[in-house]
Chain A
Amino acid sequence: MKFETPLLDQLEQGPWPSVVSDIKQEAAHRAANPNGLDYQIPQDCCEDLLGLLELSYKDMETHWKHGGIVGVFGYGGGVIGRYCDQPEMFPGVAHFHTIRVAQPSGKFYSTKFLRQLCDIWDLRGSGLTNMHGSTGDIVLIGTTTPQLEEIFYQLTHEMNNDLGGSGSNLRTPAACMGMSRCEYACYNTQDVCYQLTEDYQDELHRPAFPYKFKFKFDGCPNGCVCAMARSDFAVVGTWRDDIKIDQDAVKAYVGGEFVPNAGAHSGRDWGKFDIQAEVIDRCPTHCMSWDGQKLTIDNANCVRCMHCIDTMPRALHIGDDRGASVLCGAKAPVVDGAQMGSLLVPFVKVEQPYDELKEIIENIWDWWIEEGKNRERLGELMKRASFQKLLEVTNTEAEAFHVKEPRANPYIFFKEDEVPGGFKRDLADYRSRHQR
């Protein structure tokens, strides 16, 4: 290695996998160049990366500058300029841009796709990847400006893929694997995700939002893509009718014939399955009961937390009248604090061509583009302008579940269109009945 890295070496000591070991491995691989590649960016970039990182730990300051104009022609996102501020010391990472690539829906990869991606990135980039970034997309870490168009050409022409989102635009949408494998999926998450990605190409690639905007699609409240915590617009599968119960299968769990939790948590002996302690008492709304023979659910009080279904999947199943809830405004801590999504629409059918969802999305965008301040996420605008305003722009009737807490302000002001006859009065008519 070009540089001594005593501080980084410490990061390899723990029991967990280390990014330092990974970078060293790639540095050694590039130095050996077993496939005889004609590397298009400095062969020793990973060694320079380690050197730079060591310096950052020593100085306790980052040596990366932020941002730039780099990109591929016509796209306003997908490439993030990264430049190091010690280019003479570390020429291999003087320019070290990040590329975001759309992940396949549900993250189903073919080995061919992964090989093609790695081949491109070995030749034209650092070989370092982040599978996957927080948003859920493929993140390729480190290349130079001249390689960008080449990589983009190969991604689009040879792999039929596209760049993801970055900057003030729609970010790469993400979905759980949903119906492809999972019996809990209340709608086709992968299909909506794909369809909206196609429909909103302009929003993805040509930024004109106040800041980033994310969609995520969970097929059920288990939330495998954590839509409710990670996206401005979260679509979470749910159902409106009753949880389906197979009483014989419930007995089979109680009798020990079926293993609970589909065999998860089997690393140690938890003792005999206790339906009272493990299911009934854990129901957050206490809406279940078990009399030794029969399991009963008061479905009106079920909040679809999934716990009972996850514990006894062969006995309990999601209902048949399926759709999704829409929650808005989740975001990470930057600017004005972290938030979870707030429930806007408790139930919407999620069916092709998804017009109902798209109408909500587009109403929200129109409002946010108009009213949002620079770098203000939807969640912050909702706080600043009120949840009531969100209801208004999405043509949603206020209902009790929209209320977070009792009001703190005793005044209610009517709007003119809520008052019969409006606010105007006929002065002559008034005077005919009232003396001056």
Chain B
Amino acid sequence: MAEDKEVIIEYLKAKSKVKSKHYFKDFLELFPDKKSREVKKILSDLVKEGIVEYWSSGSTTMYGLKGYGKQEAAEEGDAEA
């Protein structure tokens, strides 16, 4: 689990300059051998630990590193709740 968390944190850090919010599916691609439930568990744990946070438009939810990106900024194409 700890290793898997590192994979996610590294990925988010590497991407942080260009992109602060990521769809759940982006993480599935990091772990091609894992079931979505397992990946969700890793992410939920990172949220609990305060490392990752959710961003929501109301209709769509994305994940990002806590403190990165502008909290109230809208994402292109998320114009409805």
Which of A's residues lie within 8 Å of B, judged by CB? Answer: 65-71, 74, 76-77, 79-81, 83, 98, 166-169, 206-212, 334, 366, 369-370, 373-375
Contacts and interface: CB of A to CB of B under 8 A. Distances in A.
Contacts, number: 98
A71 B81 contact: no
B56 A374 contact: no
Which bracket fits the contact residues of B? Answer: 20 to 34
Given A66-B74, A169-B61, A370-B36, A209 B56 contact: no
Nearest to A134: B81
A206 B44 contact: yes
B23 to A, nearest CB: 5
A67 B58 contact: yes
A98 B47 contact: no
B55 to A, nearest CB: 5
Given A67-B58, A77-B61, A167-B59, A210 B71 contact: no
B8 interface: no
29 contacts: A66-B57, A66-B75, A67-B58, A67-B73, A68-B71, A69-B56, A71-B56, A166-B59, A166-B81, A167-B54, A167-B60, A206-B40, A206-B44, A206-B47, A207-B56, A208-B24, A208-B39, A208-B40, A208-B43, A210-B24, A210-B25, A212-B59, A334-B59, A334-B80, A369-B36, A373-B25, A374-B23, A375-B59, A375-B60
B77 to A, nearest CB: 8
Contacts of A80: 56-58, 81
A185 to B, nearest CB: 31
A74 B47 CA distance: 7
* Minimum-distance CB pairs A-B, first 4: A167-B61, A67-B57, A207-B61, A80-B58
B17 interface: no
B78 interface: yes
A211 B64 CA distance: 17
Contacts of B64: 69
A166 B55 CA distance: 11
B58 A166 contact: yes
A208 B24 CA distance: 6
Nearest to A166: B58
Interface centre among A67, A68, A208, A334 (most CB of B within 10 A): A67
Contacts of B59: 166-168, 211-212, 334, 375
Contacts of B48: 74
B78 A66 contact: yes
B55 A67 contact: yes
Nearest to A375: B60
Contacts of A210: 23-25
B72 interface: yes
Given A167-B56, A168-B61, A206-B44, A67 B23 contact: no
Contacts of A83: 72
B79 interface: yes
B21 to A, nearest CB: 9
Nearest to A205: B44
A81 B36 contact: no
A167 B23 CA distance: 12
Interface string B28-41: 00000000100110
